Amino acid sequence: MKLVYSLRLLLIISLLSQEIAFERKLSNAAIALTKDKVVYDGTYVSIKYPNGDVPANQGVCTDVIVRAYRKLGIDLQKEVHEDMKINFSKYPKIWGLKRTDKNIDHRRVQNLETFFSRKGKKLNVSENAIDYKTGEMVTWMVNDKLPHIGIVTHIKSSDGKRPLIVHNIGSGQVLEDCLFNHKIVGRYKFTK
């Protein structure tokens, strides 16, 4: 009985260590993106599939997420597209689409929220900064009308009370103390 308990405990510890390592790698990948000069540009662009990306010097908030995951070998363009093809009815119809579009679907906040809810874990939104952990995605509604997304990092604010976020809200891919700057509407965790 002790051996079974010990093996289970070792397995749990191993899985937790892998998860923590992934989350830290995602945080580091997002932080690395802040070194690239990127102009905020949400223009529709035809891109290759899979592993397509808009020009490296352009992007929006969702491109931060896509690029960070891509650095870890996860292609959200492909992942979102494949899930949408099979489960199109579960995704928002805000844009009036009748079918998937591999050029843009993964670049829409609401589609990422749906994908992360389906394939990852949707977490409770909190007013307490300590609840937000490294490697989580946070979504906001800016001015009650513009959806936005960013990645929680392991770096803390200057007062040590809030995690810094990597996002692009108009000034390029930046690391900022902005967790509570807008109304938080979603919190997600996704590891593949």
Confidence of residue 166 (pLDDT cuts 50, 70, 90): very high
The answer, yes or no, to whether residue 10 has pLDDT greater than 50, is no
23-189 CATH fold: endopeptidase fold (from Nostoc punctiforme) (3.90.1720)
Q: What is the pLDDT of residue 130?
A: 97
How is residue 18 annotated by DSSP?
H
Mean pLDDT of the region 21-38? 96
Q: Which residues pair with 186 in a beta bridge?
A: 139
Confidence of residue 11 (pLDDT cuts 50, 70, 90): very low
Per-residue buried b or exposed e for 5-25, using 16+ beta carbons within 10 Å of the residue's own CB: eeeeeeeeeeeeeeeeebbee
CA 175 – CA 9 distance, rounded (Å):
37
Mean pLDDT of the region 12-35? 81
The per-residue pLDDT for range 55-73, each reduced to its tens digit, is 999 999 999 999 999 999 9
Instruction: Give the residue extent of every domain in the chain.
Output: 23-189
Alpha carbon separation from 4 to 8, 14, 16 (Å, rounded): 6, 15, 18
Mean pLDDT of the region 154-176? 97
The per-residue pLDDT for range 131-143, each reduced to its tens digit, is 999 999 999 999 9
**What is the pairing mode between strands 58-59 and 39-40?**
parallel
The answer, yes or no, to whether residue 16 has pLDDT greater than 60, is no
Least confident of 7-11, 27-31, 70-74, 100-104: 7-11
The rounded mean pLDDT for the chain is: 92
Least confident of 8-22, 33-47, 74-88: 8-22
Q: What is the pLDDT of residue 113?
A: 98
